[in-house]
Structure 1
Amino acid sequence: MFTGIISSIAAIQDIEDHNGIRTFDIEFEQGFCNDLDIGASVAVDGVCLTVTKLLPPNKASFDVMLPSIRLTTLGSCNAGTKVNVERAAKDGAEIGGHPLSGHIDDKTKVAEIETIEDNYRLRLELPPSLKPYIFPKGYIAINGASLTVSEVDKSSNWFEVWLIPETRRQTTFEEKALGDYVNIEIERGTQVVVDTIRNTLTDALGPLLPEFERYLTTKNSSIDSLTSTTVRHISKK
């Protein structure tokens, strides 16, 4: 498990492909590899990877399987690419962000960037597969960093996050350009609530579900609105 609080920025030193596996040699900041063992988990741009080799003093190797290469931004990384990194949380560790598994749900493009004094806003395309799970004020992990969704426009398919100076300093976000891809992991509690509500409505209404959705439209509402309200209500408890 990870906390979504990025430890530091690391650099990919070398990449080697062999039989559908991509091996990354990554150089970390001094001290990051202290007590790091083979088999340990490290989140690299949000992707949970396993240490396969230690290269003292500050390097380690990781094997990335084909599904992760295809689904995540690791498939487009090159030698020299900088990445966000976090070591797995220890038992009893403070969860400064929100619990993360390191299992990426999708990747998406940076659609807009705005800097207003010390404020930094990222607008990102909203992947259709994740649309039901992303709400204003909800948690989301982008390249492994736990962030709060500020605004969502599901009709135009975008959502926004704002970054504080500390997050900008500790991560690679300021190096992103328009059109660059980032990894997304949705918040699992939100996913469970949304899926439960949708499955309950489907089971209860059956063929009447489309009629119910049309009725909600007449009230300027939707199933997404209902689930969003429920998620926010639960999160306050």
Structure 2
Amino acid sequence: MFTGIVQGMAKVANIENVASGEKHERFQTHVLQFNDEWLAGLEIGASVAHNGCCLTITKIEGNKVWFDLMQETLNVTNLGALKEGDFVNIERAARFGDEIGGHSMSGHISAMAAITDIIKTEHNRTIWFELPEELAKYIIAKGYVGIDGCSLTIGDVAGNRFNVHLIPETLQRTLFGERKLGDQVNIEVDPQTQAIVDTVERYMAQAH
């Protein structure tokens, strides 16, 4: 389980399983450079969220940590587009007794969404996203959504588009500070909202 409170950004030091200069589309191993703080108590088999996607540690050597990515992960998340030298938002799995500053997240990505507008003001930034139509019913104003692993409060909603408002701390600590129009971000809809909406839909279908 994750809380959506991103701890920082880790650099992709190496992408293994690359043949003839082309990344393998079915399986890759990403090697990330961790700082000393993130390494404390870290073990092989532990879970770490990369841009909100839960991955398992397969190897640790010094400050480098290895993660395997299967075809499904490469296809449905923005991790498949990463290049060596890129950065990802990092969150280690929550432990019992940790403060839940965001909202409960599974690390299972629902889909990707494109950034369609970025509005900059003196003290914050508003970013608009467009996501697949089938997920729009789970996006509710003032509800929660996970975007690239960040737990964020939904602002305005217009059809299958919605926005969030970001403070300077979020822009500095996460990839949002460098995101551009057209970038694809990972979306995890709030599981509680999804459960309620799906349950109501099933109830209404049975009632008819």
The TM-score, its normalising length taken from structure 2, stands at 0.94
What pairs with 1:91-106 in structure 2 (closer than 5 Å)?
A: 91-106=96-111
Alignment-derived partner of residue 151 in structure 1:
156
Residue 47 of structure 2 corresponds to residue 44 of structure 1: no
Question: How far off its partner does 1:126 sit?
Answer: 2.6
Question: How far off its partner does 1:129 sit?
Answer: 2.0
What pairs with 1:121-140 in structure 2 (closer than 5 Å)?
A: 121-140=126-145
2:10/2:88 contact within 8 Å kept: yes
Secondary structure of 2:85's counterpart equals coil
* Offset from partner CA, 1:93-131 (integer Å, 9 cap, x none): 110000111000000111011111011110000321211
Corresponding letter in the other structure for 1:66: Q
Residue 195 (structure 1) aligned to one of 195, 198, 204: 198
Secondary structure of 2:38's counterpart equals coil
What pairs with 1:63-142 in structure 2 (closer than 5 Å)?
A: 63-142=68-147
Aligned length: 202
**RMSD between aligned residues:** 1.1
Residue 36 of structure 2 corresponds to residue 33 of structure 1: no
State the alpha-carbon separation in 1 of the partners of residues 36 and 119 from structure 2. 32
Which portions of structure 1, spanning 4 or more consecutive aligned residues, are displaced by more than 2 angstroms?
17-20
State the alpha-carbon separation in 2 of the partners of residues 161 and 109 from structure 1. 13
Of Structure 1 and Structure 2, the greater helix share is in: 1
Secondary structure of 1:32's counterpart equals helix
* Offset from partner CA, 1:158-202 (integer Å, 9 cap, x none): 100001111111101111111010000001000010001111111
Corresponding letter in the other structure for 1:51: I
State the alpha-carbon separation in 2 of the partners of residues 52 and 126 from structure 1. 32
Question: How far off its partner does 1:16 sit?
Answer: 1.7
Secondary structure of 2:154's counterpart equals strand
Alignment-derived partner of residue 2 in structure 1:
2
State the alpha-carbon separation in 2 of the partners of residues 110 and 29 from structure 1. 29
Structure 1, unaligned runs of 5 or more: 206-237
The TM-score, its normalising length taken from structure 1, stands at 0.83
Question: How far off its partner does 1:17 sit?
Answer: 2.6
What pairs with 1:155-174 in structure 2 (closer than 5 Å)?
A: 157-174=160-177
1:9/1:29 contact within 8 Å kept: no
What pairs with 1:48-67 in structure 2 (closer than 5 Å)?
A: 48-56=54-62, 58-67=63-72
Q: Highest relative contact order (Cα 8 Å, sep 6+), 1 or 2?
A: 2
